[in-house]
Chain A
C-alpha cells in the first residue's frame, strides 16, 4: 500500500503539511486536539522527534494517534537517540502499524536540550538513515541479513536554503537525493527571492520541495530567530512590519505574513508545497491557511 501522502505528492497538487509536537508527559489531550483540528486540513502531519533535544512523548506515539484518528502521519526520525539497531526496529514497527512516511533528520545536539548529560548517539547520520530505509525495502537489514517481511516508506529529508555557506548544504542535498529522498521540507524561508534561486537549483533534482513556513509571532521572536537560529534569516522589512502592528496584534500580523507567503509560493508555483511550523501555536494553522486563500472547510482546504 503506497502512502496517501506519496500519491498526493505525485499528483501535482500544491501540498500542505504541518507539524505537531508531543507532550512533555503522558497528558496527550492537547496533541489529540491538534490532530483533530488539523488532520483534514493538511495533506500530512509531521510529529517531531524530541524537538530541540527535549525529552518528550515519542514521535511514533504521536503518529499512531494520528493513524487512530484517520490522519496521515509523517514520522520524524532523528539519529540522536537511537543506534542503527533501534532505528531499524522502529521502522519495522512503524510500517506494521501502517505509518508510511518518514522524515530523516540528523537531530539537534543533546546539549541544547533538557537532559544535557545524555549520550548523543549519531551512530547513523541522516543520509545513512535514508539509505537504511532503501536497503530494508530491498529485504535486507544494515547487517546484510534477510528480513521476514519488508518495509516501504515515502522518505524525506530537510535542507536549509538560507545556510551560510550554502555550498556544503547543497552538496549534502544532492547526496540525500541520491540516497533516495523523495521529498524535502525546508528550514524556514522568508526571503522569497533567495528561495526562488534555491528552487531554480533544486528543480534539477527529481524531488518535491515543500517550503518551510515558520509562524512569526512577534518582532522580538523574529529578531531572536535571525540572531540565534542557524539557517534562519528574517528580512528587516518583515521585522518592521511585525513591529508596526497595533499592540497585541503581532500574532495576527504573523499569520497574515505566513498566509501571504504561502499564497505567493502557490500562485507563482515556486515550489511543490509548504510545510507550516507554528511552534506551540498549532491552534492558528487553520487561520494561516485561510489567510493564504484556502477554503475554511476542513475537508476541502488542503485540496
Chain B
C-alpha cells in the first residue's frame, strides 16, 4: 500500500505561506520518497524555491514514516529548529500532515495533494486498487474492483460507454468490466458476471470511520 501524492501547484503553496516568513520543511521517507514528491531531493528543492521567495527556512528533515507514531520522536529531536518558526510545510501525504499536526502546536501546511492509495505498476506509474469501501467483492470480480476501477463504480457490468475495452472518459484507460469479463472468461467463471449485485451499503463504517479491533 502506498499513498500516491502530487505536489500542489507552487502558486497554491505560495499562497498558503503568505503570512509566514520562517518555515521548517518536513518530508517523508516512505511513500512520498518513492513517488518523488517528499524525499530528500524534493525537500531540498522546496527549500531553494522558498528561499527565492525570501522565506527563511530554519531547517528541514525527512521523517522515516511520517504517518506513524515515531513521528513524535522525530519532531522532538528537531525541536530547536522549529520552536521559532511560523509554520511547518509538510511534503507528505495527508496521513503524514495529520500526524505532524498532532504533535506541533503551529500551523501545519500541506505541500502535496493526496491522490489515492495505490500500487506502482512500473517505475513512475501508479494506479488505485482499492476504495476501502468496507465490503470486498474481489472474489467475484477476478481480483479487479469495479467500485474502484470503473469510472462510475458500477457493480453489475459495463455501461454503454465502453469501447473496444476502453473507458468513455479516457481512451487510454481500460474499461474495468471488460478486464473483469476477460479474466472471468479465462478462468471459466463467467457465471459470476451474471450474478446480481444488490445496491451497495455505503454505511458499513459510517464516517468518521473509526473501528476497534476485537
Contacts and interface: CB of A to CB of B under 8 A. Distances in A.
Say whether A associates with B.
yes
Interface of A: 80, 84, 106-109, 111-112, 120, 122-128, 131-132, 142, 158-160, 163-165, 167-169, 171-172, 174-175, 178-179, 187, 230-231
13 contacts: A108-B168, A112-B169, A127-B196, A128-B156, A132-B199, A168-B178, A168-B181, A171-B181, A172-B158, A175-B156, A175-B196, A230-B161, A230-B163
B153 interface: yes
B125 interface: no
B159 interface: yes
A212 to B, nearest CB: 11
Interface residues of B, number: 30
B165 interface: yes
B162 interface: yes
Contacts of B139: none
Contacts of A163: 160, 162-163
Contacts, number: 90
B198 interface: yes
Nearest to A79: B152
Interface string B163-198: 111001100000001100100010000100110111
The dominant DSSP class at the B interface is loop
Nearest to A178: B196
B59 interface: no
A176 B199 CA distance: 15
A105 to B, nearest CB: 8
A83 to B, nearest CB: 9
Contacts of B164: 164
A168 B168 contact: no
B156 A160 contact: no
Most buried by A among B152, B169, B202: B152
A106 B160 contact: yes
Given A122-B152, A165-B181, A168-B157, A142 B163 contact: no
A231 B168 CA distance: 11
B154 interface: yes
Nearest to B153: A122
Contacts of B152: 80, 106-107, 109, 120, 122, 125
Name the 5 nearest CB pairs between A and B, nearest first: A230-B163, A172-B157, A106-B159, A127-B156, A168-B181
